[in-house]
Structures are given as structure tokens and as C-alpha cells.
Amino acid sequence: MFKKTTDGYELARFGELPAFISILCEQYKIYSDFIHKRPDSDSLEPEEVLRLNQHQIAPLYISTIFSAMFLEAYIFDYGTRKSSGSYIKNYIDKLDPPAKWVVVTKLFNAQGIESSSQSFELIKNLFKVRNQLAHNKSKEFKGLGKLAEKESELLKPVECVDLLIKVMSELISIDPDELYAKQTIEKLNKLKIEYRA
């Protein structure tokens, strides 16, 4: 990643952010293809129906997890580009990811993401779901009817893409020089134009 200096931009850090956003984009495409190019399930064998169902569900898990990974890595990199890796690691890294977004944006800007903002609520909800997945606990089985009634808290790939666009947009409103937020929005908006979900 590059950081802005008085002489322009210089290479500051590198990490997995491009991979995380690419995986999210791929899941968006897979889910879009599934929604819009769904085969006739009557002509499929039972095993093919199961695989098809998995193709519908897997992008929700993957996009939810990788969106959270992207946001957690992004705010760490943002803070390190504004100060240093050791400062963020020693004083900020122990905070939960939503708190990092509030603290880090306020540390390096006149204003930051407020805990009452829509972006903060989106970040908080995403990490709540991510934590439920990462620390999954089985639940008592109370019959198939109850199981069928349970609504998934997973985010669809389109919801993840929209969430990242909203968070990056708020970051740009706080820090207009933030190059990577602009690039992320451009990439995700292009994806939404090319693939409808």
C-alpha cells in the first residue's frame, strides 16, 4: 500500500487486502450466476441438487467472512500508514474491530466514524455474524419446523459489497485523501455494473 507524503506517494506496506477483496468479488459473481442462471432442478440427480444448494449457500459464508477480514485488515493498514505498525499493534490492535474503526479514524482525522453512524452499525453487525461463525456453538434441536423458521444472519454477497461501499464512502468523507477507499469503491461499483445480484 502507498501512503501520501509531501513528495507524492511512497510504498508503505503490503498485505492480503487485494486477495480478500478479490475473493469477495468472486463470491459475488458466483452468487449472481446462481440467482440468474439457475438450472431446472427437476432434471438433476439428487447429488447434483445438493451441490447446487451448496453453491447457493457457500458464497454467503465466504463473503461474510472475507468482508470482515477485509475491514479488519483495512483499518490496521490505514492506522499504520498514518502512524506506524508498532504503534497500532501495541496500542490499538487489542480492540475489537468495530472499536478500531472508531478509534483509528478519530486518531488521525478531525472527525472519525461515530459509534452512532450507519457505517458503525454495519461494521458491528458484520463482526457479530463473523464471530458467531468463527466461534460456532451447536444449539438444541427442537424439530425441523423450528429449524426451517430460523432466518440466516449471513450476509449475501451483494449486502457485503454494499456494506464495504458505505464504509469506504464514510472513510472518504472523513479522509478525502484515502486512496484505497476510492479504489475499493470503484472496483465494487464496477462489479455491480457487470454482475447484477
State mean pLDDT over 83-110. 92
Question: Among 19-33, 34-48, 89-103, 166-180, which stretch is predicted with the lowest mean pLDDT?
Answer: 34-48
User: Which one is predicted more confidently, 187 or 93?
Assistant: 187
Which amino acid does the sequence have at 78? Answer: Y
Q: Quick check: 59 and 13 in contact, CB under 8 A?
A: no
Least Cα distance to 126 among 192, 183, 188, 71 occurs for 71
Mean pLDDT, the chain, whole residue set: 85
pLDDT at 148 over 50: no
Question: Among 90-94, 117-121, 159-163, which stretch is predicted with the lowest mean pLDDT?
Answer: 90-94
Confidence of residue 147 (pLDDT cuts 50, 70, 90): very low
Confidence of residue 18 (pLDDT cuts 50, 70, 90): very high
Rounded to two decimals, the pTM is 0.83
pLDDT at 106 over 80: yes
Q: What is the pLDDT at residue 53?
A: 65
Q: What is the pLDDT at residue 15?
A: 76
